Structure 1
Amino acid sequence: MATDIRASSYPADRKRRKLRVAIITENFLPKVDGVTRTLARLLDHLNAEGHDAIVLGPETGVREYAMHPVVGTFGVPLIVYPGLKLNFSRPRFIRRLQQFKPDVCHFVDPIWLGAQMLFVVQRWMPEVPCVSSYHTNLPTYATLFGMPWLESTMWSLSRNLHSKCEMVFCPSNSTRAMLEEKGFKNVKIWSRGVDTTMFNPQARDDNLRASWGCSPVAADGKPQQGQGAIQLAQKLGLSPKASVRSSTTSPNFGPEDESFIRTPPIGPVSPLSTPHFSPPPAYTSLNDIPDLAGGTAFALPPPVLPQPFVHRYESMDASAGQGKTVLLYVGRISWEKNIRLLIEAFRQLPTPVRSKAKLVVVGDGPARADLTRLCNKLGLDATFMGHQKGTRLAAMYASSDISAFPSHTETFGQVVLEALACGLPVVGLHAQGTSDLVTPGRTGLLLDVAKAAKAGVSGSAPSTLSSRRASGDSFNGKLASDASTSPLALTPRSRPPYDRRSSSLKPARNAPGLATPIPTAADFAAAMSPGTSAFTACARSYSMHLERLIRDQPLRAAMGRQAQAEASRKTWWDAMDAVVLGYETVIEKRASSNLSDEELERMRDRQCKTAPLTGVWVRVSIMLYLLAFVLFWRYMVG
């Protein structure tokens, strides 16, 4: 398998050349999605490192980003996917490219505009190397939108376009495996990072939780006062030894001491430590955290508070009255994100559990109105926050308890990484992207859709968790062998009772994803069709994963600490510089790099004088074409 490009492999004493990078993209700001956010990060990185770039893409009104010029073109709206357009090349693109004299051309998800510009660059600028990046599973969307016959054609087109480039970037190992299986060559990993100064547990906002109706409730039915810091301590897995400043008093709380909400020093790991209420590592040193001792998933430092206080919060069941558990979905609100599975799973939660849970949906999209009506019809406690970004988005992550991400069309899943960085365990699917980030039983739970659907179709009778333990089977965090056999085989009437004895999960493997193969797009499409027995089984299994974490606050806290530690190791600088290293690699391989600077400059000057699709005759032809179009339009209107 091809090796990855890593920024750490670059010689520290080697002076790096200044690069000129042309980026051709089908999609750009102000439309916000995973692709545009990644491009924005790349442009910021290129500017910070002293490189020049130019962006050629759809007309959005943006003329410059991060000191780099942006050139737009017209497009035709795509009916089946609102917000996207089929963009067309224009002569100005070619002139600007030749004036810019790029060292490398980067094609982002080439499919329409990229196909046109690939031909132009390789025809009139053959000395410029080309790279591409794969961000969106467009062939998969063909199946999801009811056109499975188009998927093979889309794969052929995509493979052909990417094969014309000397290097193909993709964001995750699971996506690379899928692309290589489809015949893609020279695929390299271009991962993603997270800004831990923004996305971290300390961004928690208890006023935000109060607006969601999720604050703790006192005996008189009113929200408790002075509980914000206590909730933050619970979020971080801390056991306070003093209360926050508040008007309320208690024998165990001092009125002035708030030291328990501060990050404690890192202490030695004790075999006598409890996994329930222990301090997390310091946020400034997470990159150097060693593996946990003895291979135990949650062997943590000893508690910082006396035992009497621990007893007060030892039981964090959904019925314990500690405020509602917030399930957070962040992403585009469209049906291809499989959000219907989350709604159905939330509906199937046992009534006592669902009454203590709150679903918060962050994002916008074409399905938002339909989804809102569906939640109202089902009587679900759900709040829609719309599109959010920056510190406001970080506060929503940190103020929640569980990240629910049911999408199976991702190539990376940036929102999953952001949720992990904020200390949220993730309940997702065993699919591309998500499986590269979530370690089952350690940082979240994953649903094996193939096993769940098969069990739903066969109608096999499952055993309960308690009966499995009685027979000698161990229930651990490796869902491929436990949670993906007993729970996944459930029918709507056979949910096993919750067993708190299995709350301390011990994963058999400390690697992201499950050991089983990731299902194909056709498998997902068949299993995620509402109304089928397979969908019902998947929804019930996903509901059980949610229930497990809703009931078990100590397990959530332990997973959250590990999730935050692992996510904080992924930096944006390393992720973006991997692309720059790829640029340098393909430039060095090109024969044009052997030319002297004077020879290369003379060659580019000659190309500018013989620019294609320019000149008097081309302009006259364009004017005649536009005139004919106007006359035709007036004739049709008249």
Structure 2
Amino acid sequence: MKICDVTQFYSPLSGGVKRYLHEKIDYIDKHASHDEHVLIVPGAKTKLNANGRSRVYTIRSPVVSRAAQYRVLLNLRAVERILEQERPDVIESADPYQLGWKALKVGRVLRVPVVGFYHSHFPEAYVRKSAMLLGKTATHRVMKLSRAYVRKLYNQHAATVVASDRLGRVLRDWGVHNVRVLSLGVNTEIFCPDGSGTEAIRRSLGVNSGQTLLLYVGRLAKEKNTATLLRAFKSLQCRRPNEFHLLVIGDGPERTQLRKLQLRTGNLSWIRYCADPCELAGFYRAADLFVHPGVQETFGLAALECQVCGTPVVGIRGSCMDNVICHDQESWAVENSPDALVNAIEACSGRKLSVLGRNAARVARSLYSWPRVFDELFCIYREVRSKYRRF
């Protein structure tokens, strides 16, 4: 079976979609000897990188985010040519925009099923917040149109994959009929509890032995709710000076707010990106507590990775990420506000974090692994292929 993934949500630096795609390539290499993989993504130059049974096509595309190096793939004719040349058995589209529609069109021409992966709940993360500027009535109308758009696009797919039961219920309520829930996974060989090197990392950040090291990994962007995190940490520094140190790994539009806060306090470290999973795992292990302010998460891969490394998580209740938290959430914030998040951080930091993290790591390792995820996904591929009417 030849699987072809097409997506615009791909940065050479980092990101959950990139991690998912490269873990799939690794799975095919190690566990699926009769399968091939093709990946089509935007990039700085048009090129082909072939490695065994894997081929990555990069299509020259303009930048839309210089910080994260995300690009918009506009050359749809090039995508069509690659699909016609490769003739995959299954196409997986991770795009709800122009690339997603192109994948459906080419799939019909080639008579192959197209599976949609709904990685981003964009109507809530982007559309609603923009529409709110126009007032309540306009927001209601725009969200109604968004739901109709999602329904029209994804009901044309052979299956629509989502990473959580909660998001699956949302799409079903919106009228999407082909939803399949598939949790994401973790590379448990890289992300695992291991105390070696953690003290050296903490020293390099200037964290003393009496401080609690907080960690956030992700984009500095509105949809990630990082402004709430930064305001919460500012308040935390006023309440309990020098008791906490925050390490932020990631970049994005809200970096200016981070830099201003960094100038005001000596207890904030910033690393723009960390592309090496082994290095990232070291930061996860060095932290005492992972702080995740997101309220629009469709899964929460970073939260899962840090738990597998033995670091507990604190955040704001109510997102799909709740499903991947492998310890209790009794200390979590119950509302999306800086004060509520500060209270949650304080309450959680007073607990036995090492015990909490160790228990979470054991549970997470037993429930989430990439081979299990892809075994299930490839069953979906085979099912939609067997049911697809080619004539």
Structure 1 residues 213-236: Cα deviation after superposition (integer angstroms, max 9, x where no partner) = 3233xxxxxxxxxxxxxxxxxxxx
> Where do residues 125-164 of structure 1 align in structure 2 (5 Å cutoff)?
125=110, 127-143=111-127, 146-148=130-132, 149=139, 150-164=142-156
CA distance in 2, matches of 1:196, 1:88: 36
Equivalent residues in 2 for 1:377-392 (5 A)? 377=264, 379=265, 381-388=267-274, 389-392=276-279
Alpha-carbon offset, residue 34 of structure 1: 1.0
**Does 2:157 correspond to 1:192?**
no
Q: Kindly indicate whether residue 207 of structure 2 is the aligned counterpart of residue 214 of structure 1.
A: yes
User: Does residue 56 of structure 1 match 2:49?
Assistant: no
Cα distance change on mapping 1:78 and 1:159 into 2, 3 Å = farther
The DSSP-based 3-state class of the residue aligned with 1:199 is: coil
Q: What do residues 64-119 of structure 1 show as CA deviations (whole Å, max 9, x unaligned)?
A: 26542233434455489974444234444334323322211111123111212312
- The one-letter code of the counterpart of 2:284 is Y
Aligned residues of 2:159 and 2:180 also touching (Cα < 8 A): yes
Cα deviation digits, residues 296-329 of structure 1 (max 9, x gap): xxxxxxxxxxxxxxxxxxxxxxxxxxx2110111
Q: C-alpha distance in 2, partners of 1:71/1:399? A: 37
- 1:562–1:384 CA distance, 2 compared to 1 (3 A): same
Cα deviation for residue 572 of structure 1 reads 0.9
| Alpha-carbon separation, structure 2, partners of 1:544 and 1:347 | 13
Q: Which residue of 1 aligns with 2:383?
A: 585
**What is the identity percentage for the equivalent residue pairs of Structure 1 and Structure 2?**
25
Supply the distance in 1 between the matched residues of 2:240 and 2:6 (Cα, whole angstroms). 49
Shift of 1:372: 1.4
Which range is displaced more, 137-146 or 165-174?
Answer: 137-146
Matched, 1:567 2:364: yes
Distance 1:93 1:199, change over 3 A: closer
Residue type of the alignment partner of 1:56? I
Deviation track 1:530-553 (CA, whole Å, cap 9, x = no partner) reads xxxxxxxx322221111123233x
SS at match of 2:194: helix
AA paired with 2:160? V
Structure with max Cα Rg:
1
Of the three residues 407, 410, 428, the one matched with 2:315 is 428
Of the candidates 74, 77, 89, which is equivalent to residue 88 of structure 1?
74
Offset at residue 152 of structure 1 (A): 3.7
Distance 1:80 1:185 in 2: 37
The 2-side partners of 1:176 and 1:191 are apart by 11
SS of 1:543 mapped into structure 2? helix
Please name the residue that 1:43 is paired with.
25
| Structural mapping, 1:174-193, within 5 Å | 174-193=166-185
In 2 relative to 1, CA 333–571 (structure 1 residues): closer, same or farther, beyond 3 Å? same
Deviation of residue 562 (structure 1)?
Answer: 1.5
Paired residue type of 2:311: L
> Deviations 1:156-214 (Å, cap 9, x if unpaired)?
32322111111111111122122222222221122111122222231552111112232
Partner Cα separation in structure 2 for residue 166 and residue 88 of structure 1: 24
Quick check: 1:447 aligned with 2:333?
yes
> Displacement of 1:60 after TM fit?
4.1
Q: Do the aligned partners of residues 70 and 349 (structure 1) sit closer, same or farther apart at CA in structure 2, a change above 3 Å counting?
A: closer
Task: Establish whether residue 168 from structure 1 lines up as the match of residue 160 from structure 2.
Answer: yes
Q: Residue 202 of structure 1: SS of its match in structure 2?
A: coil
Instruction: Note the alpha carbon deviations across 1:480-508, whole angstroms, 9 max, x for none.
Output: xxxxxxxxxxxxxxxxxxxxxxxxxxxxx
Structure 1 runs not aligned, ≥5 long:
1-18, 217-322, 450-526, 528-537, 596-638
What secondary structure does 1:184 align onto? coil
CA distance in 2, matches of 1:336, 1:64: 33
Q: Separation in 1 of the partners of 2:98 and 2:57? A: 17
Q: Which piece of structure 1 moves more, 407-416 or 178-187?
A: 178-187
One-letter amino acid matched to 1:590: Y
**CA contact 2:237–2:244 (8 Å) conserved in 1:** no
CA contact (8 A) 1:47 1:66 kept: no
Tell me which amino acid in the other structure corresponds to 2:234. Answer: R
Inter-partner Cα distance in structure 1 for 2:162 and 2:129? 23
Distance 2:387 2:84 in 1: 21
- Taking the aligned partners of 2:254 and 2:51, their CA distance within structure 1 comes to 33
Q: Offset of 1:63 from its aligned partner?
A: 2.2
On the 8 A contact 2:117/2:162 being kept in 1, the answer is yes
Cα distance in 2 between the residues matched to 1:334 and 1:551: 29
Aligned CA RMSD, in angstroms, stands at 2.6
- Provide the TM-score with structure 1 as the length reference: 0.55
Q: 2:212 touches 2:245 (CA, 8 Å); kept in 1?
A: yes
Letter of the structure 1 residue corresponding to residue 304 of structure 2: L
Closer, same or farther: CA 29–347 of 1 in aligned 2, 3 Å: closer
Equivalent positions of 1:517-528 (< 5 A) are: none
Of 98, 105, 125, the residue aligned with 1:112 is 98
- Indicate if the aligned counterparts of 1:135 and 1:171 stay in contact, CA closer than 8 A: yes
Q: Give the Cα–Cα distance (whole angstroms) in 1 for the partners of residues 229 and 310 of structure 2.
A: 21
Q: Deviations over 1:458-481 (max 9, x none)?
A: xxxxxxxxxxxxxxxxxxxxxxxx
* In structure 2, distance between residues paired with 1:564 and 1:588: 38
Q: Secondary structure at the match of 2:240?
A: helix
Question: Post-superposition shift, 1:145?
Answer: 5.1
Partner SS, residue 215 of structure 2: strand
CA deviations 1:544-580 (Å, max 9, x no partner) are 111123233xx21221121111111211111122211
Q: Does the residue aligned with 1:106 lie in a helix, a strand or coil?
A: strand
Match of 2:344 among 515, 529, 545: 545
Residues 73 and 386 of structure 1: CA distance in aligned 2, closer, same or farther (over 3 Å): closer
2: distance between equivalents of 1:212 and 1:193? 29
Task: Please state whether the residue corresponding to 2:291 is helix, strand or coil.
Answer: strand
- In structure 2, the CA distance between the partners of 1:160 and 1:76, relative to structure 1 (3 Å rule), is farther
Task: For 1:44, give the aligned amino acid.
Answer: D
The whole-number CA distance in structure 1 between the counterparts of 2:204 and 2:13 is 28
Partner residue, 1:121? 107
In structure 1, what is the Cα distance between the partners aligned to 2:147 and 2:326?
30
Whole-Å Cα distance in 2 between the matches of residues 444 and 80 of structure 1?
39
Amino acid across the alignment from 1:564: A
What residue ranges of structure 2 are gaps of 5+ in the alignment?
A: 133-138
Bigger strand fraction: 2
- Would the alpha carbon gap of residues 431 and 65 (structure 1) be closer, same or farther in structure 2, given more than 3 Å must change? farther
1:103 and 2:103 matched: no
- Count of residues in correspondence between the two structures: 376
Q: Deviation at 1:587? A: 0.9
Q: Which amino acid aligns with 2:296?
A: T
Give matches, 1:323-362, under 5 Å: 323-349=210-236, 351=238, 353-362=240-249
Q: 1:96 to 1:199 in 2, by over 3 A?
A: closer
For the structure 1 residues 550 and 115, does the alpha-carbon distance in structure 2 shift closer, same or farther, using more than 3 Å as the test?
A: same
- Offset of 1:380 from its aligned partner? 6.0
